[in-house]
Amino acid sequence: MKTQVAIIGAGPSGLLLGQLLAHKGIATVILEAKSPDYVLSRIRAGVLEQGMTDLLREAGAGARMEREGHVHHGFALTFAGRQERIDISGPTGGRSVTVYGQTEVTRDLMDARTAEGGITIYDAQDVELHDLYTDKPSVTFVKDGEKITLECDYIAGCDGFHGVSRKSVPKEAIKTFERVYPFGWLGILSHVPPVSEELIYANHERGFALCSMRSATLSRYYVQCAVDEKIEDWSDERFWTELKSRLPEETAAKMVTGPSIEKSIAPLRSFVAEPMKFGQLFLVGDAAHIVPPTGAKGLNLAASDVSTLYHVLTKRYHDGRIDLLDQYSDIALRRIWKAERFSWWMTSILHKFSDDPFAQRMQLAELDYYTSSAAGRMTIAENYVGLPYEAVI
Ligand code: APR
Ligand code: PHB
């Protein structure tokens, strides 16, 4: 088997890259370890920056998002009994974010690929990367008991944090940076109307809480919990009581509760691998970096990596610009580190790290300062809507 770009992983990164390249006449084969149903069963974040919605449209997968997604121009921060709305559009020349679930993004990209005849091999086992530092790299995998070799020009490692791509590079060639937070997020999805039209991020002495949504009838709520918390110990009733206790009274009073249709605990981590290119292999999305979910940057960072690699590869195939290949890593990492900073900062000011009263007062002072200063509000807004993509020229 032969292609131009072998893509490992059919998550949002791999599927989006595949679609964009296909529209430029560049051939790809996607190898995915799981089944399509499994990939679509994962519930992840749901706030898309404008850069990502533009890319989805360019990839021919934006129609349903335009119909069903909800454009948001602000969100709320609550702390010390106060609720402060952060206008994200006013200070950013009218930019906004779109609330549309990652699961739906993935479904739309899968459908677009199928409609256009793109090849995705699901249930591909034992994926291995070979000869990365030569001009004839390849990927082998086992499908239905048969070992197959996929020859290619380049490999895009879009296989998430636990994937095989990052693990295939020589140890001495990669440097990693990591912070693991001493808490997790317990999240539920419930068929109830969201408590507020906009997202609410809450700093509370009992811990962080987030009110988010997928639609007018589907809510996504989170509370900070211990990392070793057992999901069985969290009945729906306990969850709703805890969530309400962390919100301002008027908000808690109008919250509609109901049975959860999904409940899970996610750990929080910051992680970056440098560089992101190893010979002919490019790491993309969660394969190269993780952010804590505070600020909803994970999926959006994957999109900016995809945008950079898409432009690099298009210029390589259309204009022979091999010089750009070596710029991918630096361009991508400049934006990644800034999004890592914002996610880390949002995490630091909103979560309960300890019982230290000084640390708690510092968080409140920071929230008070940022929300009462035009410069502070501007800083939050420009990061939340997403920093600009760097041009590939
Ligand atoms: N071989 C083939 N596929 C693999 C392998 C492997 N060895 N290991 C993992 N995969 C697949 C996974 O099954 C998954 O479908 O790679 C895909 C990776 O998808 P994601 O983890 O969703 O990562 P990515 O596409 O980079 O998506 C961006 O940012 O913060 C997050 O929630 C956000 O998941 C989203 C991510
Ligand atoms: C979500 O809706 O799942 C969500 C929203 C905003 C975040 C994180 C998660 O910052």
- pLDDT tens track for 5-48: 999 999 999 999 999 999 999 999 999 999 999 999 988 889 99
Low-confidence ranges of the chain (pLDDT < 50): none
Does the beta carbon of 383 sit less than 6 angstroms from any atom of ligand 2? no
Give the Å distance between the CA of 208 and the centre of ligand 1. 27
Q: Say what the pLDDT of residue 206 is.
A: 97
Q: Alpha-carbon Rg of the chain, whole angstroms?
A: 21
Atom 4 in ligand 2: which residue has the minimum CA distance?
45
Give the 3-state secondary structure of residue 52.
helix
Of 52, 50, 32, 51, the closest CA to residue 42 belongs to 32
Q: Residues 6, 139: contact at Cβ < 8 Å?
A: yes
Which residue's entry shows tokens 């533009």?
54
Q: Residues 176, 273: contact at Cβ < 8 Å?
A: yes
- Residue ranges of the alpha helices (H) in the chain? 12-22, 36-41, 50-58, 63-68, 102-115, 236-245, 249-253, 298-319, 328-350, 357-372, 374-385
Q: Which ligand is nearest the CA of 187, by number?
A: 2
Q: Residues 201, 350: contact at Cβ < 8 Å?
A: yes
Q: Which ligand is nearest the CA of 201, by number?
A: 2
Which residue's entry shows tokens 């290119």?
277
Q: Phi, psi (5° rounding) for residue 234? A: -110, 90
Go through the domains of the chain in sequence order and give each one's CATH number.
5-46+62-70+101-177+269-351 (3.50.50.60)
Q: Which pair of structure tokens corresponds to residue 183? A: 């808490």
Q: Which ligand is nearest the CA of 383, by number?
A: 2
Side-chain-facing half-sphere of 153: CA atoms under 13 Å = 11
CA distance 103 to 147: 30
The residues assigned a catalytic role are: 72, 201, 293, 297, 384
Q: Which pair of structure tokens corresponds to residue 11? A: 């998550």
Does the beta carbon of 291 sit less than 6 angstroms from any atom of ligand 2? no
Q: What is the DSSP letter of 388?
A: P
CA distance 255 to 192: 9
Q: Say what the pLDDT of residue 44 is.
A: 86
CA distance 308 to 159: 17
Give the Å distance between the CA of 376 and the centre of ligand 2. 22
Residues 68/74/78/81 CA torsion (nearest 10 deg): -110
Does the beta carbon of 150 sit less than 6 angstroms from any atom of ligand 1? no
Does the beta carbon of 298 sit less than 6 angstroms from any atom of ligand 2? no
CA distance 29 to 236: 43
Give the Å distance between the CA of 286 and the centre of ligand 1. 7
pTM reported for the whole predicted model? 0.97
- Contacting residues for 58 by C-beta, under 8 A, at least 6 apart: 20, 23
CA distance 294 to 303: 17
Does the beta carbon of 109 sit less than 6 angstroms from any atom of ligand 1? no
Give the Å distance between the CA of 211 and the centre of ligand 2. 8
Q: Residues 258, 213: contact at Cβ < 8 Å?
A: no
